[in-house]
């Protein structure tokens, strides 16, 4: 049985009509709790020193002051504090994974579009990349493989891990689609663009050889950006994965037998709680 880290304070912001809405945490929290996964508060806290592992000087302050500019990523009261709670979930999940417990951070805001000095795509801090950096700072030489199955390319994560020693990155995503990147692979970052309409079987057929390829580097840890917007019922994208596919993704990651943790990225369908439950059924 794995661990789920969550804090309902991360549901205390939102804008009318914005897809990245409080229900994503609130309803999913209740669903995974009913399924026996008992969400717990983060075991660790996050602060400026954690943010500074990868983000630029002044990035956190720009979030506090609202001096950033991104039409998709508004300024909200206390958003910097809430983003740090979300980061704390990722740090806690990574720490639990290193202790042999597969873990999931059920938090918002998501993180994989946030770059060194950039707030973007509903993301303020790059939770997953920062969690990886913290692990590698604590244990030099630790080899981490990052898997991103969000429907959107994890451009922020790629920008932060590109060329990073002992780190590999794999993203399967719809292309063309926001943010318009991820058509080609670069260095230690492997990108697999998929056409709109790709279904679960086709997605898994693309994923399986790429996962094997990723494992050839013999990573010590799997870090997973778990986005559920490739779902066939998602309102903002065009892939056609079903609920069973997410369980199979989780199962394939579990079968690696590696220490592993995941963070919630996208997923804007009302079915998100069911999708997360299915993924955890495989991942744990």
Find the CATH number of the domain harbouring 105: 3.40.800.20
pTM of the predicted protein model: 0.97
Segments forming the whole domain that contains residue 56: 3-283
Structurally, how many domains does the chain consist of?
1
Listing DSSP states for 78-105 in one string gives THHHHHHHHHHHHHHHHHHHHTT--EEE
Confidence category of residue 1, pLDDT binned at 50, 70, 90: confident
Residue pLDDT, tens place only, 172-217: 999 999 999 999 999 999 999 999 999 999 999 999 999 999 999 9
Residue pLDDT, tens place only, 77-98: 999 999 999 999 999 999 999 9
* Annotation marks residue 113 as catalytic: yes
Please give the Cα distance from 151 to 246 (Å, whole number): 12
Q: How far is CA 109 from CA 55, 128, 142, 145, 154, in A?
A: 16, 12, 27, 22, 14
Active-site residue identified among 113, 152, 153, 173: 113
Residue pLDDT, tens place only, 244-281: 999 999 999 999 999 999 999 999 999 999 999 999 99
For residues 143 and 219, is the Cβ–Cβ distance under 8 A? yes
Confidence category of residue 239, pLDDT binned at 50, 70, 90: very high
Residue 104 predicted with pLDDT over 90: yes
């Amino acid at each position: 049985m794995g661990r789920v880290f969550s804090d309902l304070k991360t549901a205390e912001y939102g804008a009318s009509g914005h897809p990245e809405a409080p229900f994503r945490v609130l309803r999913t929290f209740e669903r995974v709790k009913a399924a026996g996964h008992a969400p717990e508060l983060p075991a660790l806290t996050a602060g400026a020193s954690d943010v500074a592992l990868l983000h630029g000087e002044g990035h956190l302050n720009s979030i506090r002051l609202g001096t950033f500019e991104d039409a998709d990523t508004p300024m909200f009261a206390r958003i910097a504090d809430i983003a740090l709670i979300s980061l704390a979930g990722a740090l806690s999940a990574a720490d639990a994974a290193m202790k042999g417990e597969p873990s999931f951070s059920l938090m918002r805001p998501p993180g994989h579009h946030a770059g060194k000095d950039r707030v973007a795509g509903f993301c303020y801090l790059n939770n997953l990349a920062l969690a990886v950096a913290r692990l590698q700072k604590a244990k030099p030489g630790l080899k981490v493989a990052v898997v991103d199955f969000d429907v959107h390319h994890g451009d922020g994560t790629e920008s932060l891990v590109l060329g990073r020693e002992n780190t590999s990155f794999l993203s399967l995503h719809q292309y063309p689609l926001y943010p318009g990147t991820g058509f080609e692979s670069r260095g230690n970052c492997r990108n697999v663009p998929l056409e709109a309409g790709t279904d679960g079987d086709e997605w898994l057929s693309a994923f399986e050889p790429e996962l094997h390829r990723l494992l050839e580097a013999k990573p010590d840890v799997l870090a997973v950006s778990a986005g559920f917007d490739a779902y066939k019922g998602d309102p903002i994208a065009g892939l056609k994965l079903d609920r069973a596919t997410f369980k199979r993704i989780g199962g394939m990651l579990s079968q690696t037998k590696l220490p592993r943790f995941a963070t919630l990225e996208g997923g804007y369908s009302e079915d998100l709680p069911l999708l997360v439950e299915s993924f955890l059924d495989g991942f744990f």
